[in-house]
Structure 1
């Protein structure tokens, strides 16, 4: 696409915002956890007969738990990537008129997100490996796919799953070994396209998570390979946080892996139901997942 088209499509953000309430908007709600179990790892083999049925049986192990999701507006600077595994960052992004235009998203917004993550982490390099847009302006066929918010507590990777996925992004063993001498993180960049009311995203403060007892590695085997994410069991200690009325210029960064931490920092997260806005229009948001490389010694 010519640069003139980009210039016409991208403009300064302005009319998408409203002033959030200064009053705390903590929410009593339910989150879907995995039921307590002794196994610390589960495997589903989709290459074998019965794999799909086993997957459905395991998914049925979810149970609803009452939780308080705390609004951290007014004190969001207390929470940082380094200490808590997540951080909200205020940043003015270029506005994209047509979020269904993948070329514009890849040419404009993803580089902006990577640059912001580099600034916040001291990374020398970021590699986006996937992104997802939930937007009512896209065509109806896209609305019917799996882009509905995930309303179950999960992590996108286990530590083993993140390192395995890194192999597909950096296939050269020597280069990968060199990068791992520094710090490698998997970071999700998430922000609304319009102020969030329905199905906001909540993240669990990593200081309240006991990975050894709370997290279960969930490996899925496919004909083309495998991936491993995390399921999460309930704990009274979990501290769930969100930003009420999150605006398009308020980006959420949260870790899904950190090679510089002994426990890996695979942060649990979930969409949740705010009863006040259950009947509102579906949320519109973008999520960008990237590997982040911080040089050795930084």
Structure 2
């Protein structure tokens, strides 16, 4: 069962001054990388050339979690127990226990009547650069998993029947990411940007990846000094972060929430972060 986080301001709240990795803003707010015409390393180099770092303060909301909601800010922390998270390396356990429990949590939180999980990832390495798309290290780049176009493309790849897609799209469709630690986070915590602080018309960059199997489109983001970044200090396994990666009924830009791992200089030598993220469609 999900329980709203209680207001309990601790004495060890830590705002962190760090740098986040953004993209420089292109004129047309769009970058297409065609891996069918270029070598993978060339495509990766073209994207890396867009990188630029900016100093940002990430605010610790420990004790103030109740101020932030999925509808207003694009993210929400909830207290949620799952037995046996230590078994997250076991694919059978993930599919039979963890994913169903996460889907129940999303249904309780959003009011969704149907959920479809389409991917999950366990991150347990400090550095895994050679894995590229299958990277199991924290993602140190400000991004969202989809743009609105990418979200609809993902629906096409998961729900192949066109009539069923049209039926589902008559209601509200969201893409929800549920992220939670497997152990208390000491290194590379996850930061989220308050959607209300974002100028998505100027800040979001559509990054379309053309692959031999088709295309997908994720969001990259340029820096804006008005952006507000938050995290939950020393986040624990029972403290789940739920955040939107698309909402068909959102007033502004589909609410594709930017997020990123970041370096806390005081704990950068700690043990590698262990976490699991599960992405799903939620329909109402």
Task: Work out whether the TM-score is over 0.5.
Answer: yes
Q: Summarize deviations over 1:219-246 as a string: whole Å, max 9, x none.
A: 0111110000011000001000100011
Q: Which structure 2 residue ranges, 5 or more long, are not aligned? A: 1-7
**Residue 254 of structure 1 aligns to a residue in which SS?**
strand
Residue deviations 1:98-117 (CA, integer Å, cap 9, x gap): 32210011100110000000
Deviation, structure 1 residue 50: 5.5
Taking only aligned residues, the RMSD between alpha carbons, in angstroms, comes to: 1.8
Alignment of 1:165-244 (within 5 A): 165-244=154-233
* Contact 2:124-2:136 within 8 A present in 1 as well: no
Note the C-alpha offset of 1:49: 3.5
Deviation at 1:21, TM superposition (A): 4.7
Which of 262, 265, 276 aligns to 1:286? It is 276
In 2, distance between residues paired with 1:87 and 1:51?
36
Residue 135 of structure 1: how far off its partner (Å): 3.5
CA distance change for structure 1 residues 58 and 92 in 2, over 3 Å: closer, same or farther? Answer: closer
Name the structure 1 match of 2:260.
Answer: 270
CA contact (8 A) 1:85 1:255 kept: yes
Equivalenced residues, count: 270
- Cα distance in 2 between the residues matched to 1:155 and 1:130: 15
Instruction: Report deviation, 1:211.
Output: 1.0
Q: 1:54 to 1:168 in 2, by over 3 A?
A: closer
TM-score when normalising by structure 2: 0.91
Unaligned 5+ runs, structure 1: 1-18
- Using the alignment, how far apart are the partners of 1:36 and 1:265 within structure 2? 19
Is the contact between residue 85 and residue 182 of structure 2 (CA under 8 Å) also seen in structure 1?
A: no
- Distance in 1, matches of 2:25 and 2:210, equals 23
Note if contact 2:24-2:51 (Cα within 8 Å) is conserved in structure 1.
yes
Asked whether 1:255 is paired with 2:254, we answer no
* Bigger shift: residues 206-215 or 37-46: 37-46
Corresponding residue for residue 41 of structure 1: 30
Return the index of the structure with the highest Cα Rg. Answer: 1
Match of 1:149 among 120, 129, 138: 138
Does the residue aligned with 1:167 lie in a helix, a strand or coil? helix
**Counterpart secondary structure, 1:273:** coil
Find the aligned partners of 1:199 and 1:96 in 2 and give their Cα distance.
20
Determine the C-alpha separation between the residues in 2 that align with 1:121 and 1:284: 26
Query: What's the CA shift string for 1:118-175, capped at 9, x where partnerless?
Result: 0000000111100011237xxxx99xx6111110101110100000110111111111
Q: 1:266 to 1:114 in 2, by over 3 A?
A: same
Where 2:266 maps in the other structure, the secondary structure is helix
Query: Could you tell me the TM-score, scaled by structure 1's length?
Result: 0.87
How far off is 1:52 after superposition? Answer: 4.3
Picking from 73, 84, 88, the partner of 1:95 is 84
Q: 1:216 to 1:94 in 2, by over 3 A?
A: same
8 A Cα contact 1:73 1:244, kept in partner: yes
